[in-house]
Amino acid sequence: MAVSNPVAFKPFAVTFWTTVAYIALLVPLLVIHETVPPPPSNPTLYSGLNLTKSWLDLTILSRDYHPFNSRKNDDIHDWLLLELEEIKRRNGANDSSVAVLADNVSNITTGNTLFGSSPAGTYFEGTNVIVYIRGKDDPQGRWWEDGTVYSDKIVGKGGVLINAHYDSVSSGYGATDDGMGCVTLIALIDYFSRPENQPQRGIVALFNNNEEDGLWGAQAFAHNPLLPFCHTFLNLEGAGAGGRAVLFRTTDAEVTNAYKGTKDPFGNVVLSDAFGLGTVRSNTDYIVFEGVYGLRGLDMAFYRPRARYHTNQDDAKHASRASLWHMLSSSLHTVQGLSGDTGQTFIGERADGDRKKVWNGRGTNGVWFDLFGKGFALFDLRTLFAWSLTLLIATPLILLGLTYILMRNDKYYFFSTSRSTYEGSDLDPVTLGGRRGLTRFPFAFVVAGALVVGSAYLVTKINPLIIYSSEYSVWAMMISLFYFIFWAIMAGANFARPSALHRGYSSFWLFLIGWCILVADTVFEDRFRVAGGYIFVFFHSAAFLASFIALCELFVLPTQASFAQRVHDDHEIRDHLTAVPHADDLISPSHDEQDADDDDNDEVESQAGATETTPLVGSVSGGSRRTTFATTYRRSISAFINKAASAEDDKDQPYEYEQQWSTYLPSWLWAIQFLILGPFLIILAGQNGLTLVSIVAQTGADGSSLLIPYLITAFFSIILLLPITPFMHRVTHHVPMTMLAVFVATLIYNLAAFPFSENNRYKIYFQQTVDLDTGITEVNYVGLQEYVKLTIAELPSAVGKDLDCSSQGSLRLGLTTCSYDGSDVPPNVVKTHPEGIPPEVGYSSWLSFNITRAEGETKARFEIDAKDSRSCAITFKKPISSFTVNSNPLDERFGNIPEGGLTRIKLYRRDWTTPWNVDVQWETDTDAVTGIDGRVACSWDDVNTPGTIPAYDEGLKYAPRWVALSKLTSALCEGSKAFKA
Catalytic residues: 211
Helix, strand, coil abundance in the chain, percent, nearest 5: 45, 15, 40
Of 556, 503, 552, residue with least CA distance to 405: 552
Of 909, 852, 905, residue with least CA distance to 881: 905
Exposure b/e, 730-759, CB count within 10 A at least 16 = b = bbbeebbeebbebbeebbebbeeeebbeee
Bridge partners for 6 per DSSP: none
Three-state DSSP state, 138: coil
Q: In Å, how far are 253, 256, 435, 517 from 378, measured between CA atoms?
A: 7, 8, 43, 22
Distance from the Cα of residue 674 to its chain's centroid: 26
Q: How many CA atoms lie within 13 A of 568 on its CB side?
A: 15
Taking the C-alpha atoms of residue 251 and residue 232, their distance in angstroms, rounded to an integer, is: 10
Taking the C-alpha atoms of residue 204 and residue 234, their distance in angstroms, rounded to an integer, is: 10
Q: Within 10 A of 975 (CB to CB), how many other CB atoms are there?
A: 27
Three-state DSSP state, 571: helix
Distance from the Cα of residue 281 to its chain's centroid: 13
Using the 8-state DSSP alphabet, how is residue 290 labeled? Answer: I
Q: Which residues, at least 6 apart from 278, have a Cβ–Cβ distance to it below 8 Å?
A: none
Q: Which residues, at least 6 apart from 656, have a Cβ–Cβ distance to it below 8 Å?
A: 498
Distance from the Cα of residue 205 to its chain's centroid: 29
Q: In Å, how far are 678, 685, 892 from 20, measured between CA atoms?
A: 12, 17, 60
Torsion angle (degrees, nearest 10) of CA 519, 521, 525, 531:
-160
Taking the C-alpha atoms of residue 842 and residue 868, their distance in angstroms, rounded to an integer, is: 13
